Amino acid sequence: MDLSLNTYLNVAANTSKKQQSGKLVVMSEREKDSNLVARVQRGDKVAFELLFTKYQRRVSRLVSRFIRSEAEVEDVVQDSFIKAYRALATFRGDSAFYTWLYRIAVNTAKNYLVAASKRPISLSQFEKNDDDDFEEDRFISNTATPESELITKQIAETVNKTIDELPADLREAIMLREIEGMSYEDIAEAMECPIGTVRSRIFRAREAISLKIKPMLDVGEGKRW
């Protein structure tokens, strides 16, 4: 039976719950993705539409950190999902679906830059949105005054500039953790390094940011955001 996308979403939501020993168990996001991947592998194209809908915006934000043009970002995102669709037959679930998709998107963006002889743009040039950057209230309480707004803006600019100046491995680790919200385990898989290395890189990145913003926050020694 051919289902509309909305109908399929409802079906997928219903199948995300299962009965075990008389108790209702809610599936994790990773399990939901695995279910959809399994359906795609069985030829269900609508299941892939669900994965595309779920991760399109996230992948677009990721690609926009490499490429300036909105039209080019859209092309690279489409190309990334096409590559993912063609490669899904080989996906075995050893990592989370987004971790796997992340690698494809990053490699596609980097290959595009090489082919186009372009360079990545600075993080300071990114247009901020609701969850695309560090939350400003981590650094300063919002009192809705002109002074606080100015300080908040200066702190955000300092954070972005500091991240932009970090070594590539530290920059990628802190972005995956603080912007993408990935777990240490998934970051280790995405960066193909031990989890201890991930923790070290994130710690060093945070220390670098803390040193830059500490004078602006007037916090005591030893405190970090």
Whole-angstrom distance, CA of residue 49 vs CA of residue 126: 28
Compute the distance between CA of residue 94 and CA of residue 88 in angstroms, rounded to an integer. Answer: 13
What the block records as the tokens of 170 is 């530290």
What pLDDT digit, counting tens, does each position of 120-165 carry?
444 444 433 334 443 434 443 444 567 667 777 777 788 888 888 8
Q: 26-116 sits in which CATH class? A: mainly alpha
DSSP string across the chain: ----HHHHHHHHHHHTEEEETTEEEEPPHHHHHHHHHHHHHTT-HHHHHHHHHHHHHHHHHHHTTT---HHHHHHHHHHHHHHHHHHGGG--SSS-HHHHHHHHHHHHHHHHHHHHT--PPPGGGSPP-TTSS--GGGTS-----HHHHHHHHHHHHHHHHHHHHS-HHHHHHHIIIIIS---HHHHHHHHTS-HHHHHHHHHHHHHHHHHHHHHHHTPPTT---
The matching CATH number, chosen from 3.30.1780.10, 1.20.59.10, 3.40.640.10, 1.10.10.10, for 123-215 is: 1.10.10.10
Q: What is the pLDDT of residues 185-215, one digit of tens each?
A: 888 888 888 888 898 988 888 888 888 887 7
- Which residue's entry shows tokens 């168990």? 25
- Beta bridge partners, 25, equal 18
Domain boundaries, the chain: 26-116, 123-215
What per-residue string of b and e applies to 78-114 under the rule 16 or more CB within 10 Å gives b? ebbbeebeeebeebeeebbbbbbbbbbbbebbeebbe
The pLDDT of residue 74 is above 50 = yes
Q: Do domains 26-116 and 123-215 have the same CATH topology?
A: no
- pLDDT at position 7 is 53
pTM of this prediction? 0.53
